[in-house]
Structure formats: C-alpha cells, structure tokens
Amino acid sequence: KKPKIFIARAIFADALPQLEESFEVTSNQSDEVLTPEELQKALVGMDGALVSGGDRIDAKVLSAAKDLKIVANIAVGYNNLDIPAMTAAGVMGTNTPDVLTDTTADFGFALMMAAARRVTESEHWLRAGKWEKWALFNNPLGVDIHHSTLGIIGMGRIGQAIAKRGLGFGMKVIYCNRKRLPEALEQECGATHVSKEELLKTADHIILVLPYSAESHHTIGEKELSLMKPTATLTNIARGGIVNDLALAQALKAGKIFGAGLDVFEGEPKVIPELLACSNVVLAPHVGSSTEQTRRAMMNLAIKNLRAGLAGQRPPNLINTDLMQN
C-alpha cells in the first residue's frame, strides 16, 4: 500500500506525476494557507506532509495525525514547526538549507539597495507623471551603498553570503551573532565581530538574517532604532517578529532612520497600515528565495527529505535528530 502524503500548498505541477507513482497524494487545491482546523483535518490518516512557512505544525494539529511520520518544510526557517511537540509525537521535521542561500542573499542586497537608492519610491513618482518635479539637489536623494559600513545581524550561511557581496561593493563588513565565527571564516567573509550596540551605532546599512525564536523576538525595537544613524537603512529578510513593525514605522515616519527594506512582517500576510503609509520603505511579500531555480531546488530537497523519511531512512535535513540515533 502506498504511503499517504498531504501537500499543503500547490507545488510545481510537473512534480506530481512522480510523487503519485510512490504515494497516494492529496493536495490543497485552493493553494490558500489552511486554517489550523483545516490543516489538522487534512493530516488525519497521512503518513507524510509537505508544508511551507505559513503552515503551523503544533501539538494540536498533530493530535489527530496518528500515522504521521514526517513533515518536510519547504523553507530553511522552521519556526512554524513546533519541534519539541513533533519530537514528542515521534514526527520527523526537515527544512531546506543551503539551496536558497545565495538567492536569499541576493534579495537582501536588492532590498537594501532599493531602500538606500529609493528605487520603488522614484518609480512611483515616474508612474505618477511627476518626473519633472524630482528635484536634482533637494529631497529625495538616496544614500550610498559602496564603501559604506554593512552591519549583519545573524551570521549563518545567508549572513556570510551577504558579507561576501558587501566586500564586492567595497563595504566594511561588521556583524554580530550569538556565536562568533571561527577566525578563518571571519577572514573569508572579511567580517569583523562587534557588539550589537556598536553595530547599531556604526552601520550604514543593517541586514537581519537570524532565525526567529523567543530570544530573537523584537531584536530591533524602539531602543535599537534610536541608536541607528538617521542616514542608515534596515533590511529584514529573516522573519516577522524580529523587528517591532510599529516601532519601525514610527522611526521611518519621524526620519529617525533613512529607510527600510522588508520581506517579512509581524502577522504576515497582513502588513500594518502604519508601515504601508511610509514612503521610505520597500515592501515585498516574503519572496527572498523565489526564483524559478531556487524554488525548484527547495521543492526537490523537501521531496527528497520526505521520501527518505517514509522509506525509514534518515532524511538529509532532519531537524529533530534525537529521533534517530544513527
């Protein structure tokens, strides 16, 4: 008998025939994020599931999914998976690291540059027929990227890939991280470890690339924003909740910082009106990894994890490794 799998969001359609050879596949045809109640119902009787960041897997959702062995997340971040609850229920969790590192680092740079050079704001002027009113020497002028100081908070794989891009722009790269990188890796990234306070005070452009946790909740709030230079930008490609969005909107409105680039939000897919009202912020709907190649690679890696888990093998990106001793 084929194992049963549930696919919580539409994946590339050409992947389905192969999956259907091995599994009895049910997918969420609407492609809308399911409510917790819908997800709980959908997982009843399933052996495995492919989910994304909007799908929260917790004890309640797991309680009715007695046959579930593995949940493969199509994302590197996995704060949507309650790992202790999954471990307690004997359900493996996997993510998709590495395959999206460079694509996501590119997007961090894109947002940072768009915020610094006011790309979307100037496009709005052009589209509104106001080209002639775009002053040459008065506002709104941008701030430079090249040879400025890049501050990276969270120095995992993506943070390191951003640091290397910064070097190409002649930037001075500083970072803070829970753990300092080994010296060889610091040298490779051309990055200097500093305290969070020093980073906030001295960086011209700050990019957040740390995982979300209770500990990283509101890493950037009113106090941190007040330490930043008025000419600085802040870019969040990590997770909503790492920034206090309301405090950021207030700082942007008051000109306490120059601009921001945001791919993630507290309570997404909703964005607070205070942020939408700011012209000096570039907004994106959580698309950091969304190129054709990378989304395919993420999907394929998640499927590989799912297949391994359902074949009784150790999935390559198993998160709760304590479920498997060897």
Task: Give the active site residues.
Answer: 239, 268, 286
Q: Between 79 and 149, whose beta carbon lies closer to ligand GLV? A: 79
State the minimum distance, in angstroms, from the CB of residue 81 to ligand GLV: 11
The three-state (H, E, C) secondary structure of 157-186, written as one string: HHHHHHHHHHHHCCCEEEEECCCCCCHHHH
User: What minimum distance in Å lies between the beta carbon of 204 and ligand GLV?
Assistant: 22
Nearer to ligand GLV, 7 or 251 (CB): 7
Q: How many residues bind ligand GLV (CB under 6 A)?
A: 15
Q: Should residue 284 be labelled a site residue for ligand GLV when binding is judged by CB under 6 A?
A: no
Q: Which stretch binds ligand GLV (CB under 6 A): 96-104, 242-250, 273-281, 310-318?
A: 96-104
Q: In this structure, are residues 65 and 260 in contact, taking their beta carbons and an 8 Å threshold?
A: no
Q: Residue 65 Cβ, how far from ligand GLV at the closest point, in Å?
A: 23
Specify which residues 74 forms β-bridges with: none
Please tell me whether residue 318 binds ligand GLV under the rule CB under 6 A: no
Compute the chain's Rg from CA coordinates: 21
Q: How far is the CB of 285 from ligand GLV (least distance, A)?
A: 11
Q: Is 77 in the site for ligand GLV (CB under 6 A)?
A: yes
Minimum CB separation of residue 77 from ligand GLV in Å reads: 3
**Considering only residues 149, 177, 216, 289, which one is a binding residue for ligand GLV as defined by CB under 6 A?**
289
In this chain, which of 56, 60, 157, 217 binds ligand GLV, going by CB under 6 A? Answer: 157
132 vs 215 by CB, closer to ligand GLV = 215
Residue 56 near ligand GLV by CB under 6 A: no
Q: Note whether 243 binds ligand GLV by CB under 6 A.
A: no
Residue 132 — φ and ψ, nearest 5°? -60, -25
Mapped to the 3 state alphabet, what secondary structure does 224-250 carry?
HHHHCCCCCEEEECCCCCCECHHHHHH
**Of 26, 31, 77, 78, residue with least CA distance to 47:** 26
Cβ(212)–Cβ(82) below 8 Å = no
List 112, 116, 209, 299, residue binding ligand GLV (CB under 6 A): 209
What is the C-alpha separation between 79 and 100, in angstroms, rounded? Answer: 17
Indicate the angle between helix axes 119-127 and 101-116, nearest 10 degrees: 60
Among 93, 97, 166, 259, binds ligand GLV (CB under 6 A): 97
Contacts of 315 (CB under 8 A, 6+ apart): 70, 72, 92, 94, 304, 305, 306, 308, 309
Residues in touch with ligand GLV (CB under 6 A): 53, 75-77, 97, 100-101, 156-159, 209, 211, 288-289
